[in-house]
Structure 1
Amino acid sequence: MDAENRIGTAAQQAANSALVRDFGLLLKAATRLELRIDTELRRRSGISHTMFEVLIRLCRRPGESVSQRHLADDLTLTSGGVTRLVDRMEEAGLVRRTPSPQDRRSVLVEPTEDGYEVFLDAAAVHAEVVRRYFAVPLSGGDYTRLTGALGEINRALADD
C-alpha cells in the first residue's frame, strides 16, 4: 500500500470514528434546535434568538443593568457585534443604554417596559419549542442524564 492510500485510509477511519460521529450528532441537534427556536421567535415574537438571549441576561436580575462588555463575553460576541445588536434592540424599544456610574467608559444596558413584555411573550415561545424538541423526545430519566452530562461537560470546559 503506498503512502497516499495509507493516509487516505487513516483519514477515513478518523472521519468515521465514534467520537467524531457522536459529537457531530450533538452539534447537528443543537444547530437544528437553535434554528427552530430562532425561526419561531422571529415569526411569533419579532425578535431573534440572540436578542432573546440578551433579554434573558437582562431579566435575570430586575433593576440591575448589565455592561455591554459583560453581554459580549457572555454571548461570545465581539464588542462590535454586541454594540450593533444592542443598537438594533434599542431602536426596537427593547433596551436602553445608560452610562455606568462606576466607569465612564462603560455603557450599561437594561430592558425597557416593552422589552420585559416582549421577553415574556418570547419566553413562552422558547419554552414551547424547547419542550417539544428537547425534552419531549426523551424519557424523564434520559432527559435528566442528558442535562446532567451537559452540565459536567460545561464544568470541565470552564475549569480549563
Structure 2
Amino acid sequence: MSPANRENDEAARAADSRLVHDFGLLIKAATRMEQRIDTALRKECQVSHTMFEVLIRLCRHPEEETSQRRLADDLTLTSSGITRLIDRMEGAGLARRVPAPGDRRSVLVEATDHGRAVFLRAATVHARVVERYFVAPVAAADYGRLIRSLSEIEKTLRDD
C-alpha cells in the first residue's frame, strides 16, 4: 500500500471514530435544539434566542448590576457583538443602558418593563420547546444522569 493510500485509510478511520461520532451527535443535537428554540421565539415573541438569553440574565437577579462585558462573557460574544445586540434590544424596547454608579466609564444593562413582559412570554415558549425536544425523548431515569453528566462536563471545562 502506498503512503498516500495508508494516510487516506488512517484519515477515514479517524473521521469515523467513536469519539468523533459521539461528539458530533452532541453538536448536531445542540445546534438543532438552538434552531428550534430560536424559530419558536422569533415567531411567537419576536425575539431571538440570544436576546432571550440576555433577558434571562437581566431578569434572574434584577437587583444585580450587569455590564455589557459580563453579558458578552456569559454569552461568549465579542465586545462589538454584544454592543450590536444591546443596540437592537434597546431599539425593540427590551433593555436599556444606564450609567454605572460611581464609574462614568462603565455602562450597565437592565431589562425594561416591556422586556420583562416579553421574557415571561418567551420563557413559556422556551419551556415548551425544551420539554418537547430535550426532556420528552429521554427516559425519566436517564434524564437525571444526562443532566448530571452535562453538569460535570461543563464544570470540567469551566475549571480547566
- Give TM-score, length-normalised by structure 2: 0.98
- In the TM superposition, what whole-angstrom CA distance separates every residue of 1:25-61 from its partner, at most 9, and x where no partner exists? 0000000000000000000000000000000000010
Q: In 2, distance between residues paired with 1:141 and 1:153?
A: 19
Moved more, 112-121 or 94-103: 94-103
Structure 1 unaligned residues grouped into runs of 5+: none
What is the CA RMSD across the aligned residues, in angstroms? 0.7
Q: Distance in 2 between matches of 1:58 and 1:72?
A: 13
Structure 2 CA distance, aligned partners of 1:18 and 1:8? 18
Runs of 4+ in structure 1 off by over 4 angstroms are: none
Partner of 2:131: 131
Q: How big is the shift at 1:106? A: 1.2
What residue number does 1:91 align with? 91
Partner amino acid for 2:13?
Q
1:158 is matched with 158
Partner of 1:64: 64
Structure 1 residue 3: deviation in Å?
0.6
Secondary structure of 1:104's aligned partner: strand
1:147 aligns with 2:159: no
Match of residue 28 from structure 2:
28
Aligned-partner SS, 2:103: coil
What's the secondary structure of 1:64's corresponding residue?
A: coil
Matches of 1:149 and 1:100, distance apart in 2:
38
Matched residue of 2:23: which SS?
A: helix
Distance 1:102 1:129 in 2: 42
1:115 alignment counterpart: 115
Long gaps (5+) in structure 2: none
The residue number in structure 2 matching 1:79 is 79
Identity %: 64
